[in-house]
Amino acid sequence: MVGMSTQGTPDGREIAQIVTLAERPDLMDVFWDMESPWPEFMKHDPIGNMYYDSLERFTEHVLVCLDEDGTMVAKAHSVPFPLAGGTLPDDGWDGVIRRAMQAEATGEPATHVSAIEISVRPDLQGRGLSGRILHALRDNAARLGFRELLAPVRPNGKEDPDEPMARYAFRTRDDGLPVDPWLRVHVRAGARIDRVAPRSMVIPGTLEEWRGWTGLPFDRTGTVAVPGALAPVLCDAEHGTAVYVEPNVWVRHRTGA
């Protein structure tokens, strides 16, 4: 068991247990039942989908949070990956997944571990559970011998897609904490903001696919502001394609391992 929490939730239910999928492989049967909070277009990252389709390879790094009845109320993903040198890569989220899957296939040892997603059941969001789950991910990384938990954070408080991430990521409030709520959770948990990953997630598609994902026309070449996107989507109407390149923000958590 990774950790234990007794934080109450609005409907009286509690996170009573946090386990890995390796400890409870039977939970795989209900693992995908919880609604994803991501915008529809983000569910079509080809690298991310490759990871989710191969989840059984990384069960020691996947946490499931259960209430007193044994019902899943949250989950968290991380992956171990090899990285030479100390500079965190520009390709962020996609990059750590790609490196993790390549290493798992070839037997190359991992040198780092990165968080890639924390999901809380929609009716329990906004109650501080993400911070507690983040601590559990860090504890799990320490248990597995990693000195740091890295994370290519998606600062979903960013409302202006045209604002450069390099500017937004380092904006702070009067108390010195980041203006972005999710970056603030990480910093309060002890993380240090490292750098921007400028091409952290790349989602290509045909114009027809993008219309289906967003309900927008995608009929003119240029940039398109898509609700939920942190940067503009680049539309090439003449060639029938569009691509989204999302910047994320690298943070580092020391685990004490």
Write b or e for each residue in 63-86: b if 16 or more Cβ atoms lie within 10 A of its Cβ, otherwise e: bbbbbeeeebbbbbbbbbbebeee
Query: What is the block-wise mean pLDDT of the chain (257 residues), using blocks of 10 residues?
Result: 37 73 95 88 97 96 95 96 93 98 97 96 86 95 98 96 97 97 96 98 98 98 98 98 98 95
Domains and CATH numbers, the chain: 17-201 (3.40.630.30), 204-243 (no CATH)
pLDDT for 117: 96
pLDDT for 36: 80
pLDDT for 87: 93
Q: Output phi, psi for 153, to 5 deg.
A: -75, 135
pLDDT for 34: 85
pTM over 0.95: no
Concatenate the DSSP letters of all residues of 94-117 into one string: HHHHHHHHHHHHHTPPP-EEEEEE
pLDDT for 10: 39
Let me know: does 158 contact 40? Beta carbons within 8 Å: no
Kindly give the pairing relationship between strand 241-254 and strand 148-153.
antiparallel
Cα–Cα distance for residue pair 197/92, rounded to 1 Å: 5
